[in-house]
Chains A and B, each alone.
Chain A
Amino acid sequence: MIIGLDVGGTHTDVVLLDKDGLVRDIKVTTDEADLFHTVLSGIEQISRHIKPRAIERIVLSTTLTTNAIVQGNMPDIGMIVLSGPGIDPEAFRTHEHYYVVGGAIDHRGREITPVDFDCLKHVTKKLKDSGIRHVGVVGKFSARNPIHEQKVRDALKRSFRRVFLGHWVSGSLNFPRRIATTFLNASVYSTHKKFFKAVRATLEDRGLHIPIHILKADGGTMIFDASIKHPGQTILSGPAASVMGAIPFSDKTEEAIVLDIGGTTTDIGIIINQGPVLEPVGIELAGYKTLIRALKTYSVGLGGDSAVKVVDGRLEIGPERMGPAMAFGGPAPTTTDALRVLGKINDGDLEKAATGIKGLAEHLGISVTEMASQVYSTFCSEVLRYAQMLVDNINSKPFYTVREYWEGYTIKPNRILVLGGPAKSFADELQRISKIPTTVVPKWGVANAIGAAFARTTCEVTLFADTQRGILTAPEEDFFERIDSSFSREDAERKTLKLLKRKALGRGASRHDLETEILESSQFNMVRGFSAAGRNIRIKAQVKPGLIHGYEVISRRLMDETGL
């Protein structure tokens, strides 16, 4: 059996699945101040009367690291940055204890300037004097050659408890994002480790000796042990869980918009041929632009409980939430109240809902029912407008080759999948306005937790070969080899896939779920003085985000049960 758990802002959804489908699902109230208790009570309630041995897999999606970052609730750490020529690294300062030390590597991974160890000594002393225990070290072009980061780490080893290196975070080039990501990894490390160690200890006490899978922003999982080096990857897993939860109900030939409509926000994502669309570089959170792989999602402040008001004769919904809907004792009218007035939901106090909507109707001089309909359709149009913005954003991606131009296909969504608490009430209107077939995902209220439960382990590998210099490297994997001039792109692709499989298994993947894909493969002839000097090869491959082997049976059952 599989447990899937997704912590949301107000509720935490937990599901238990077996080969026959959904065994049970529950919701527990999220206590932001004590997520540990929230998660444990969720697991405890869902697994009550189940033999521990029957549980084979557990996947947790939490808001732990996201909250820590958004609230700035992070211990003080140190950052040491080695920059070469280019933009002044002062521009990328993360916080007070941020130091620039001499040392530079160029775009080919060649050393330009050696590390300034004298300066490093001073910085080390300053950091130690400030009581700092964790340090991030990031060099420009370390994704091409991490030697400086490694040398600095060796020099710091004795002075600090843990050192995080920039080249671990990604094989992609982007120095400022590498700095921000390493900063976040170092900053949330203690919180993350403490939390999951405690969860693991408690589960083991109860006889659950299985690795804990943690959901990442890219809709894939990694096991706890692997997450220690990369705790930042666990941010914003919530929207990813929603998209993964919709995948089983989209078709192989579809381009689908996923809408997870909640109380405060609506999360929007895109699925193409059952695969989620990823961010091209990495996700942004609380002003930190990172290299963290993530699904391309968009969160808008439009939920069932978003406040509705009339401003200058115009209806405005969200982004703030003043409390629950008036139907449930809240202070301001909401879309939920409109749904209640229109009879699309039957929970909550009709009279209170109507009072709220009436207040709006008076501003516009229309009837309460008309007002409620207007709120209802405005909400849906707004959600669709944001969805269209996301589609346009994906479609405006630049191309760098003639081939990409000719291939340059654009997304034209032909399905909308809705989930979240009030999903069912919105589907018809969304379909009417968008003229796109709209489906409510079975078990829409907990589909996100089902998505987490089914998510497979994902990862990415970037490989770089330079036959002129005779080097083959994947710094992120600590992989370095000498090659000769005959090394080809095919060799490089093979090597990349081999490294990728090894990495995925180490992060908790099952052998059945190694669906790999070459994302980028390019080869450039390097010419110096009118004759060929070598080849410059770049390969990037991933385990595609998707669902684990065997999910189809379970999701088909869910569809049958719901009569879809």
Chain B
Amino acid sequence: MLRAKRKTGLIFFPAFDWAIDPTHPEREERLLYTQDQAMEEGLFDIEGLVEFKSDLVSEKDVRRVHFCVPDVASVMTESHFISAGSAKRMGVAVVTGEVEKGFAIVRPPGHHAKRVVHGARGFCNVNIEAIMIEYLRTFHGIRRVAIVDTDCHHGDGSQDIYWHDPDTLFISMHQDGRTLYPGSGFPEEMGGPNAAGRTLNIPLPPGTSEEGFLYVLENVVLPVLDEFKPDIIINSAGQDNHYTDPLTDMNFSAQGYARLTELLKPDIAVLEGGYSIEGALPYVNIGIVLAMAGIDYSKVREPDYDPESIRQSEDISRRIRQVCDEVTDIWQRRYDITRERQEGKEYEERVNRIFYDTDGIYETQHETVRICRECAGALRIDSSSDRGNRIMAVHIPKNACEQCKTAGFRWYEQAEPSLYRKIYLQNRPDDEFVEKVP
């Protein structure tokens, strides 16, 4: 009889009645064949695989991460509340020891959702991993978190949320941004002045195959994780690196994803993208589940799988080795870089221009972070969209020092009311969220 070596929780929420629009890749049908395959394999009958019931997040859970414009209810549908809630439920099950590992096979996804939310971008409205992580940090004593994003698209939303946080290691491996949405995710994007090197981006050339992904994992991701020593590892388990994915140009496979999962040993995996709904998802999802639970996955293959036909060229291998060296160098020099970037500065500012492709909104952000050697630094974002919404968002990080707390409160108090539709304060140390409408 089949038995999981590691007790593994699963939440399956395919949202069979939710779509961005009827022919959009993010539509009702997306997980239909994955469900068929999971049921036909008898996945939920395997001893040690436990199916959990989906759950909801509250608006408060969302506000721990996001500034939603104008409010939470306007940017989320019921599906988003359930998909984020399922990730959260899975996280709680793992950290409380109900199960050893957990995989939330849910939609809609979340890794393109940034801290400020004016609408949907890259099929994402809210960041379901971040909502889970901040919940676990608030109620379950988790501090150091590593997010490894293996979706084919750069996880720019997660990167944005954890840009300044030295307690969160964010690693994204993805198809080179010069050839794919969202166009970002280069090694030089390595985190803010208070957390340099805690964001690591590994862009990969189109055509990267099993060999390339596993090379990155073994030569960058695993050594970095070893040193970072996270309390938990989250895998943003997008499946659009697959050789049959219609939106991307990579050559990854079900066997490769399963092997990657086996090596990475994530505590919690959350499904992100993946749009080859018949040719890839049924096999990749089964492979990941089995690998997490420690069950033999050697026969989980796509019907047309042929490792020879998807093998990467020597040129691709060379370019991957190069980028891995570059990223390893950033990681090893992270404290020096942090010091250099903090030197002689009290604040750092950046301007972000963000396009919400799904909803067609343009946003401009003026971001100010307080340079701090003790915490992630108080953060202020002045954000305006082409829909005429201008807001001021102030974030005081979870483990803020006294000076950063004071700075945050002062920004919130002193914001010029006439300029903004709303002024928000995310006070993470007290787990409070307040806003004023001038």
Contacts and interface: CB of A to CB of B under 8 A. Distances in A.
A112 B13 CA distance: 28
A104 interface: yes
A88 B298 contact: yes
B23 interface: yes
Interface stretch (B50-58, B112-120, B146-154): B50-58
B39 A398 contact: no
A552 interface: no
Contacts of A174: 39-40, 42, 45
Interface residues of A, number: 45
B303 interface: yes
A522 B35 CA distance: 14
A409 interface: no
Interface stretch (A41-49, A62-70, A525-533): A525-533
Contacts of B42: 87, 92, 174-177, 289
Contacts of A91: 1-2, 296
A287 interface: yes
A114 to B, nearest CB: 13
Given A85-B301, A402-B78, A175 B14 contact: no
Contact of B29 (A112, A403, A524): A524
B385 to A, nearest CB: 28
A524 B303 contact: no
A399 B53 contact: yes
A140 B40 contact: yes
B32 A88 contact: no
Given A400-B16, A405-B82, A87 B303 contact: no
B45 A107 contact: no
A194 interface: no
Interface in B1-43: 1-2, 11-18, 22-23, 27-29, 32-33, 35-37, 39-42
A184 B2 CA distance: 19
Given A87-B2, A399-B53, A400-B13, A141 B28 contact: no
Given A400-B16, A402-B17, A112 B303 contact: yes
Nearest to B44: A281
B246 A85 contact: no
B278 A108 contact: yes
Interface stretch (B59-67, B282-290, B335-343, B352-360): B282-290
Contacts of B82: 402, 405
Interface in A96-124: 104, 106-108, 112-113
Contact of A400 (B12, B27, B45, B77): B12
Nearest to A527: B23
Contacts of B361: none
B1 A87 contact: no
B300 interface: yes
A309 to B, nearest CB: 31
Contacts of B29: 524-527, 536
A401 interface: yes
Which of the listed residues A85, A287, A525, A531 has the most CB atoms from chain B within 10 Å of its own CB? Answer: A85
A398 B246 contact: no
Nearest to A526: B29
Nearest to B79: A402
Contacts of B78: 402, 405-406
A108 B40 CA distance: 12
Contacts of A563: none
A397 B11 CA distance: 11
Nearest to A529: B246
A84 interface: yes
B9 to A, nearest CB: 12
B278 A396 contact: no
Given A175-B42, A403-B17, A527-B27, A398 B11 contact: yes
Which of the listed residues A86, A92, A140, A406 has the most CB atoms from chain B within 10 Å of its own CB? Answer: A86
Contacts of A113: 303
Interface in A371-430: 396-403, 405-406
A176 B295 CA distance: 16
Contact of B32 (A175, A402, A524): A524
A104 B45 contact: no
A554 B14 CA distance: 47
A176 to B, nearest CB: 4
Contact of B283 (A85, A522, A531): A85
Contacts of B167: none
A92 B1 CA distance: 7
B387 interface: no
A549 B49 CA distance: 43
B298 A525 contact: no
Contacts of A530: 23
B296 A88 contact: yes
Contact of B282 (A87, A107, A287, A397): A107
Which of the listed residues B29, B42, B82 has the most CB atoms from chain A within 10 Å of its own CB? Answer: B42
A141 B40 contact: yes
Contacts of A86: 37, 40-41, 283, 286, 299-300
A127 B42 CA distance: 27
B53 A287 contact: no
A424 B380 CA distance: 71
Contacts of A529: 246
Contacts of B15: 400-402
Contact of A405 (B33, B54, B298, B303): B54
Given A87-B299, A398-B54, A402-B78, A525 B27 contact: yes
A505 interface: no
A175 B290 CA distance: 16
B300 to A, nearest CB: 6
Contacts of B13: 398-400
A532 B205 CA distance: 32
Which of the listed residues A87, A113, A406 has the most CB atoms from chain B within 10 Å of its own CB? Answer: A87
Contacts of B286: 86-87
Contact of A531 (B23, B45, B295): B23
B36 A173 contact: yes
A92 B299 CA distance: 14
Given A174-B42, A405-B78, A88 B299 contact: yes
A525 B45 contact: no
A140 B78 CA distance: 35
B45 A289 contact: yes
B50 to A, nearest CB: 10
Contact of B22 (A112, A141, A525): A525
B205 to A, nearest CB: 25
29 contacts: A83-B299, A84-B303, A85-B301, A85-B303, A85-B305, A86-B37, A86-B40, A87-B41, A92-B42, A107-B278, A108-B278, A174-B42, A174-B45, A281-B45, A398-B51, A398-B52, A398-B53, A398-B54, A400-B35, A401-B15, A401-B17, A401-B18, A402-B17, A402-B18, A402-B77, A402-B78, A403-B17, A525-B28, A530-B23
Given A87-B300, A106-B303, A401-B16, 18 more contacts: A85-B302, A87-B299, A91-B296, A92-B42, A104-B303, A107-B36, A107-B278, A112-B303, A174-B45, A177-B42, A398-B11, A398-B53, A399-B13, A401-B18, A525-B23, A532-B22, A532-B23, A536-B32
Of all A-B residue pairs in the complex, the 9 with the closest CB atoms, nearest first, are: A176-B42, A173-B39, A107-B36, A173-B40, A112-B303, A401-B17, A401-B16, A402-B78, A524-B29
Interface of B: 1-2, 11-18, 22-23, 27-29, 32-33, 35-37, 39-42, 45, 51-54, 77-79, 82, 246, 278, 282-283, 286, 290, 295-296, 298-303, 305
